[in-house]
């Protein structure tokens, strides 16, 4: 019995007290090397999908090896996302933390190397960490790093992420059993 209920009973009032908790959203973390390109792209596209479908899903993106000297989104990725109506200019890279891992229902990395590095840091995440392409398609597929490459490589990366994200979100929701 909580303190308010005890006061009501002590005061001679007997009433039913119920506490309603809000449903937790499905929590998805996208992870890549520096959190400036692929994972930022996945987060932006995922948030757009979640809003359009009115899903109860929370999205973050993180780095497994953040460079403190390069925290802004990659210019080519930001340009392509802007063309889709997605503004990532305020994003700043963040290193994945134990708290992120603890709270995420599903962690989706861009490559197997990212997954392996994340699991080396947080072995407890093994049952909820997957490579995005593999999680979405059931086949071993990775999102190639476009960093420092021509715009065409970024275009292919954004297209690949946009292709995988909707399926990955739907599978993450199904995996958690949350609505």
* DSSP per residue, 92-112: ---B--HHHHHH-SEEEESSH
In terms of residues, how long is the chain? 179
Contact between 108 and 30 (Cβ < 8 Å):
yes
> Average pLDDT for consecutive 10-residue bins of the chain (179 residues)?
46 48 86 98 98 97 96 98 97 98 98 98 98 98 96 98 98 89
pLDDT confidence of residue 174: 95
pLDDT confidence of residue 12: 53
Domains and CATH numbers, the chain: 23-176 (3.40.50.2300)
pLDDT confidence of residue 1: 46
Two tokens at 102?
């603890």
pLDDT confidence of residue 146: 97
pLDDT confidence of residue 55: 96
pTM, two decimals, is 0.87
pLDDT confidence of residue 22: 59
CA distance 143 to 108: 11
Match 């001679």 to its residue by tokens: 12
CA distance 111 to 178: 26
Contact between 88 and 31 (Cβ < 8 Å):
no
């Amino acid at each position: 019995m909580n303190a308010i209920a005890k006061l009501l009973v002590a005061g001679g009032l007997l009433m039913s007290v119920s506490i309603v908790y809000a449903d937790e959203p499905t929590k998805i973390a996208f992870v890549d090397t520096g959190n400036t390109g692929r994972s930022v792209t996945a987060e932006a596209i995922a948030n757009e999908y979640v809003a359009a479908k009115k899903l109860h899903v929370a999205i973050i993106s993180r780095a497994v090896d953040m460079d403190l000297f390069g925290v802004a989104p990659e210019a080519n990725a930001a340009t392509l996302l802007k063309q889709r109506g997605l503004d990532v200019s305020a994003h700043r890279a963040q290193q994945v933390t134990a708290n992120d891992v603890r709270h995420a229902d599903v962690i989706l990395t861009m490559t197997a190397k990212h997954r392996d590095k994340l699991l080396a840091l947080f072995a407890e995440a093994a049952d909820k960490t997957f490579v995005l392409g593999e999680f979405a398609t059931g086949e071993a597929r990775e999102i190639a790093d476009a960093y420092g490459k021509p715009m065409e490589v970024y275009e292919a990366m954004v297209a690949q992420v946009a292709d995988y994200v909707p399926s990955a979100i739907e599978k993450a929701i199904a995996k958690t059993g949350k609505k």
